[in-house]
Chain A
Amino acid sequence: MKKLIVLILLGVLGYTGYFISTHKNMSFSEIFFFLDLEDKKKASLADTDEEEDHQSHSQEKKKKEDKKGLKKKLTSKDSQKKNGEEEDQEFNFEDLPESLKVKPTNETESLTSLSQSLVEFTKPGRKYQHLVKVIDNWKLGSKVGVDKNDYTGSMTVVRTREALPGTRYLHAQYFTDEEGEQVLQHLSFEYRPGPHAMTDVVNQVKTLFNVSQKPTMEKKDFISWNKDDGYTVWIKQMGEDDIKDDPFNAYTKQDIGTIRVAIELEIHGQESDDHGNHRHVSP
């Protein structure tokens, strides 16, 4: 019996030592907290390949991996993944607004859901992995590409294979630093052209962002609001010039009038000393 107790203690100590060695930056209490969470840990995200292709058919994916003989590499991506796992414990899918949990079935619902995503994923603590979960829940086939270099770090692009009714080209850009901190730099989607398309989109965005103040900038085909968190949300009705030469999206001339909705890190502010043909509205 004594031997058994000693063995168990040795095992606990050994595991603790392993854990400390892999979480050097964590405090004692954090380690204990984490250890507690370890018991309740759920299944992790998909594989660590730089191009993650989240399919809804996990068996098919496992078959592919077996066939290719891929193994998970312990890279900085893994430590990001581990951080992501930790974050997942704080991210509760059920807490999301209803429009992000249920797949839209028509254009109006799509517009609501995607506009909601602009609100939701600019909140502190939101990661690209969370966006991917929403996309996968909608069964749109998320595509994640990571662009890394030794000089300016990592940018993660999230797109989808399929689109919700009446919308398309969901696109997100996240910068990730060496500590795994993510910054959403750009999130956008497009809404189909139509006689009331611009009005519909503007009304939706106004409602969801609870925009009571006047827009920061307003023209016939463009409107924007600067938020207090350093982001700007803008809506643009795209003309012929706007649909040319996009590096990511395909267009034809029939797509003139498409509405692009985006939230981005603000660069300029509106304190410009040069004015175009727009109504310049003070915030």
Chain B
Amino acid sequence: MLLKTILIPLFMTLFMGLAAQAGTIPFYYWDNQNGFVPAQHCEISRTKEHRFRISTYFGPNQEAKTENLRNFSGVRQSHLINGSLVKLIDGKEKRDFKKIEVVGVNQDPDVEPNRWFSQRLDQGYLYYSSLLPVEDFIIKLTNISPSQQKMGKTFSNVEGFFLKIASESTFFKMDCPEFDQRDYVIFKVYKKHSHHPSALVGVYWDETKLFKNIRTATKYDAISILPNNLSEESLTSLLSNNGSQVEVRDDETTVEDDVTDEVDQGNDEDDTTSLDDSNDSLDGMTNVVCTANSHLNVRDASLNDILFTAQRGEQVKIFQGWGDNTKKKVIDGVEYVFKKVQFADREGEDQTIGFVAYNFIKPKSKCKFFFNDQDGDQTVDTQITGLDDPNCCEFPTVKRPTHRYDSGMRKFGAGRSRGKRLHAACDLYRFKMEPILSVAPGKVVRSKYYFYQGTYAIEVVHSGGFVVRYGELDKKSVSGITKGAKLKMGQRIGYMGKVNSNCCRPMLHFELYDGSLKGPLSTKGNKYQRRGDLMDPTPYLYKWEHENF
């Protein structure tokens, strides 16, 4: 009786579970452009190390929720929330510290955000004891953007999935023939409350957009979420059940695709009229991958091997000048031109430069296949009536300037060029690469442009109509801060720069206009060499400094 009612069903369930388990676990690797890419053809091998770590506070304050991210000189740059995922990067060695880059900030609901928070891709130095092994944590993926969701082949929605690095006596990596220089560190992917991983995903240290929005927890705290996570099945057994072998793989050469496929597609293109007939952008200066297909092969200098693929709409910069930047290849009697390009927005350094068929590079405004695919992170404008609104405004630097901005050469109206002209801004001294913040809700009306001695400026019209030129920014961009971008008060819009001449400390050159006039901000005809509605920002900066600090 016991056999029939309990034991047989139990064994059947176990057997079916194991049977279901065998041969079903899919492999993927993560690609920033393509999302989860099937990787059943990749081989898995052991590796002793990887670059990922989890941050934590180290020190006497048991309540601390963040750790200081510092520059090489030891100056604090920002606060990094405990439990954030970081990666070790190359850089100047500093005793007792490691240079890191933030991969994903832990979205801890108990931590109140402020202007000082580190953001993804921030770099700096963490104390070595503030770096914990990632295998002691689980990582939950949150706030997956619509575009990332669409990219998934099997996972239509990976939001809420948990990742845990595969580790036993060693870690594991995927070796995929198309990227023989890359080691994809393997993470197991779990659904909530599941006992077994749903998949394995390899993540390359230099392509980590998967971890853009995360929550982390120690594996001990996560028992209720992943019941088996303290005694999970080893990867080796999982793979054996799957029929895979874990071994060290020798490198193989890449098989070249037929280049005629990609150039034949170009023959269908004619001279196109831009969909965007707008007269008010530099889209004609920006080149993108323009192809009817979703991808374009990027080749090495010999044009024989494919290095990686580029997505339609990806921004490229074309090399010019000295060096072998233009090549030709005859295919079926027809000569095609290939140009050396750089992909501006890619993280992975080994996937930024290559040769592409010039037919498929067009100015953004002339590409009929390109559609703006916004990330979906549009900020919402808040209500503010102008400079005199009680809710206005945020101070544009993360902390008080180190020097007074109402005296010396830093003040508005200070003489320049032996008194021939007057300083049109207040100079706010802080530290290089510190975030610069939008003082009020607004919209970017001019993207970053060359401003002065290797620094840049952007122009923003704020709620109520006043205009600010944020000058002497570093060239490093904040993602999404381009012409037309809507801004929140306090939103990061750039980083503090330093001029080539080293005449001065790093600073923000802050120009303020009341918005009553139109036309360019730089003009001739008055002593400031600026538009006539230029204002002295000093009293407003006093107010904002007092209110914010």
**Which residues of chain A have a CB within 8 Å of any CB of chain B?**
50-51, 64, 67-68, 75, 77, 143, 145-155, 157, 159-160, 162-163, 166-169, 171, 173, 175-178, 181, 183, 185-186, 188, 190, 192, 217, 219, 222, 224, 226, 228, 230, 232, 234, 236, 242, 244-252, 254, 262, 264-274, 276-278, 280, 283
A145 touching B453, Cβ below 8 Å? no
Asked if B415 is at the interface of the complex by the 8 Å CB criterion, the answer is yes
Nearest-neighbour CB distance to chain B for A258, whole angstroms, equals: 9
A269 touching B520, Cβ below 8 Å? no
B416 touching A250, Cβ below 8 Å? no
B500 touching A222, Cβ below 8 Å? yes
Nearest-neighbour CB distance to chain B for A50, whole angstroms, equals: 4
A168 touching B450, Cβ below 8 Å? no
A178 touching B501, Cβ below 8 Å? no
Tell me which residues across on chain B come within 8 A of A154, comparing CB atoms. Answer: 520
Known A-B contacts: A152-B461, A278-B502. Give 9 more (CB < 8 A).
Answer: A145-B283, A147-B282, A151-B518, A175-B522, A219-B501, A234-B501, A265-B522, A268-B452, A270-B503
Q: Report the separation of the CA atoms of residues A188 and B451 in the bound assembly, to the nearest whole angstrom.
A: 12
Q: Which 3 A-B pairs have the closest CB atoms?
A: A168-B321, A51-B284, A276-B502
Q: Report the separation of the CA atoms of residues A143 and B451 in the bound assembly, to the nearest whole angstrom.
A: 20
B320 touching A248, Cβ below 8 Å? no
B475 touching A246, Cβ below 8 Å? yes
Asked if B459 is at the interface of the complex by the 8 Å CB criterion, the answer is yes
Q: Which stretch in B208-216, B233-241, B273-281, B541-549 binds the other chain?
A: B273-281
Nearest-neighbour CB distance to chain A for B493, whole angstroms, equals: 14
A271 touching B409, Cβ below 8 Å? yes
**Which residues of chain B have a CB within 8 Å of any CB of chain A?**
271, 273, 278-285, 317-323, 340-342, 344, 353, 363, 365-366, 403, 408-409, 415-418, 420-421, 429, 445-454, 456, 459, 461, 467, 469, 471-472, 475-477, 483, 499-505, 509, 515, 518-524, 529
Tell me which residues across on chain A come within 8 A of B453, comparing CB atoms. Answer: 224, 232, 234, 236, 262, 264, 267
A190 touching B502, Cβ below 8 Å? no
Tell me which residues across on chain B come within 8 A of A278, comparing CB atoms. Answer: 501-503
Nearest-neighbour CB distance to chain B for A60, whole angstroms, equals: 10
A190 touching B504, Cβ below 8 Å? no
Nearest-neighbour CB distance to chain A for B339, whole angstroms, equals: 10
Tell me which residues across on chain B come within 8 A of A177, comparing CB atoms. Answer: 519-520, 523
Given the known interface contacts A151-B459, A177-B520, A178-B519, the answer about A163 and B417 at a Cβ–Cβ threshold of 8 Å is no
Please indicate which of the listed interface residues A160, A266, A268 has the most CB atoms of chain B within 10 Å of its own CB.
A268
Q: Report the separation of the CA atoms of residues A161 and B409 in the bound assembly, to the nearest whole angstrom.
A: 41
**Closest residue of B by beta carbon distance from A171:** B450
Nearest-neighbour CB distance to chain A for B285, whole angstroms, equals: 4
Tell me which residues across on chain B come within 8 A of A271, comparing CB atoms. Answer: 409, 415-416
B279 touching A157, Cβ below 8 Å? no
Tell me which residues across on chain B come within 8 A of A251, comparing CB atoms. Answer: 342
**Closest residue of A by beta carbon distance from B521:** A152
B459 touching A152, Cβ below 8 Å? yes
**Closest residue of A by beta carbon distance from B349:** A253
Q: Report the separation of the CA atoms of residues A234 and B418 in the bound assembly, to the nearest whole angstrom.
A: 19
Given the known interface contacts A77-B279, A222-B500, A234-B500, the answer about A149 and B417 at a Cβ–Cβ threshold of 8 Å is no
Tell me which residues across on chain A come within 8 A of B273, comparing CB atoms. Answer: 68
B323 touching A254, Cβ below 8 Å? yes
B279 touching A75, Cβ below 8 Å? yes
A152 touching B502, Cβ below 8 Å? no
Tell me which residues across on chain A come within 8 A of B524, comparing CB atoms. Answer: 181, 183, 230
A145 touching B520, Cβ below 8 Å? no
**Closest residue of B by beta carbon distance from A254:** B323
List 14 A-B residue pairs with CB atoms under 8 Å apart, sorted by A's residue number.
A64-B271, A143-B285, A149-B483, A150-B518, A153-B520, A154-B520, A192-B321, A228-B417, A250-B340, A250-B341, A268-B409, A269-B409, A272-B503, A273-B408
B504 touching A272, Cβ below 8 Å? yes
A230 touching B520, Cβ below 8 Å? no
Point out the residue from B285, B317, B322, B529 that lies within 8 Å of A265, measured CB to CB.
Answer: B529
B280 touching A149, Cβ below 8 Å? yes
**Closest residue of A by beta carbon distance from B317:** A250
Please indicate which of the listed interface residues B322, B342, B408, B445 has the most CB atoms of chain A within 10 Å of its own CB.
B322
Q: Report the separation of the CA atoms of residues A188 and B449 in the bound assembly, to the nearest whole angstrom.
A: 13
Given the known interface contacts A77-B279, A168-B321, A169-B320, the answer about A175 and B520 at a Cβ–Cβ threshold of 8 Å is yes
Q: Report the separation of the CA atoms of residues A273 and B449 in the bound assembly, to the nearest whole angstrom.
A: 27
Tell me which residues across on chain B come within 8 A of A250, comparing CB atoms. Answer: 317-320, 340-342, 353
Nearest-neighbour CB distance to chain A for B412, whole angstroms, equals: 13
Q: Report the separation of the CA atoms of residues A176 and B522 in the bound assembly, to the nearest whole angstrom.
A: 9
Q: Report the separation of the CA atoms of residues A248 and B477 in the bound assembly, to the nearest whole angstrom.
A: 12
**Closest residue of B by beta carbon distance from A186:** B450
A274 touching B522, Cβ below 8 Å? no
Tell me which residues across on chain B come within 8 A of A247, comparing CB atoms. Answer: 344, 447-449, 456, 475, 477
B475 touching A245, Cβ below 8 Å? yes
Tell me which residues across on chain B come within 8 A of A68, comparing CB atoms. Answer: 271, 273
Point out the residue from A148, A151, A268 that lies within 8 Å of B503, measured CB to CB.
Answer: A268
Tell me which residues across on chain A come within 8 A of B271, comparing CB atoms. Answer: 64, 67-68
Nearest-neighbour CB distance to chain A for B212, whole angstroms, equals: 19
Q: Report the separation of the CA atoms of residues A68 and B273 in the bound assembly, to the nearest whole angstrom.
A: 7
Tell me which residues across on chain A come within 8 A of B409, comparing CB atoms. Answer: 268-269, 271-273
Nearest-neighbour CB distance to chain A for B479, whole angstroms, equals: 12
**Closest residue of B by beta carbon distance from A271:** B409
Nearest-neighbour CB distance to chain A for B423, whole angstroms, equals: 8
B320 touching A162, Cβ below 8 Å? yes
Please indicate which of the listed interface residues B283, B450, B467 has the most CB atoms of chain A within 10 Å of its own CB.
B450
Tell me which residues across on chain B come within 8 A of A272, comparing CB atoms. Answer: 409, 503-504
Given the known interface contacts A51-B363, A149-B446, A159-B285, the answer about A219 and B452 at a Cβ–Cβ threshold of 8 Å is no
**Closest residue of A by beta carbon distance from B495:** A245
Tell me which residues across on chain A come within 8 A of B408, comparing CB atoms. Answer: 273
B504 touching A244, Cβ below 8 Å? no
B284 touching A183, Cβ below 8 Å? no
B449 touching A145, Cβ below 8 Å? no
B320 touching A168, Cβ below 8 Å? yes
Given the known interface contacts A150-B518, A152-B520, A173-B449, the answer about A269 and B416 at a Cβ–Cβ threshold of 8 Å is yes
Tell me which residues across on chain A come within 8 A of B461, comparing CB atoms. Answer: 151-152
A268 touching B520, Cβ below 8 Å? no
A148 touching B519, Cβ below 8 Å? no
B365 touching A51, Cβ below 8 Å? yes
Nearest-neighbour CB distance to chain B for A166, whole angstroms, equals: 6
Tell me which residues across on chain A come within 8 A of B322, comparing CB atoms. Answer: 166, 168, 192
**Closest residue of B by beta carbon distance from A169:** B320
**Closest residue of A by beta carbon distance from B403:** A274
Given the known interface contacts A185-B522, A190-B321, the answer about A147 and B471 at a Cβ–Cβ threshold of 8 Å is no
Tell me which residues across on chain B come within 8 A of A152, comparing CB atoms. Answer: 445-446, 459, 461, 467, 469, 518-521
Please indicate which of the listed interface residues B415, B445, B483 has the most CB atoms of chain A within 10 Å of its own CB.
B445
Q: Report the separation of the CA atoms of residues A245 and B433 in the bound assembly, to the nearest whole angstrom.
A: 13
**Closest residue of B by beta carbon distance from A172:** B450
Tell me which residues across on chain B come within 8 A of A266, comparing CB atoms. Answer: 416-417
B483 touching A147, Cβ below 8 Å? yes
Given the known interface contacts A168-B320, A175-B523, the answer about A149 and B284 at a Cβ–Cβ threshold of 8 Å is no
B280 touching A50, Cβ below 8 Å? yes
A217 touching B475, Cβ below 8 Å? no
Q: Report the separation of the CA atoms of residues A77 and B279 in the bound assembly, to the nearest whole angstrom.
A: 10
Nearest-neighbour CB distance to chain B for A157, whole angstroms, equals: 6
Tell me which residues across on chain B come within 8 A of A157, comparing CB atoms. Answer: 282, 285, 449
A147 touching B280, Cβ below 8 Å? yes
Q: Report the separation of the CA atoms of residues A171 and B51 in the bound assembly, to the nearest whole angstrom.
A: 40
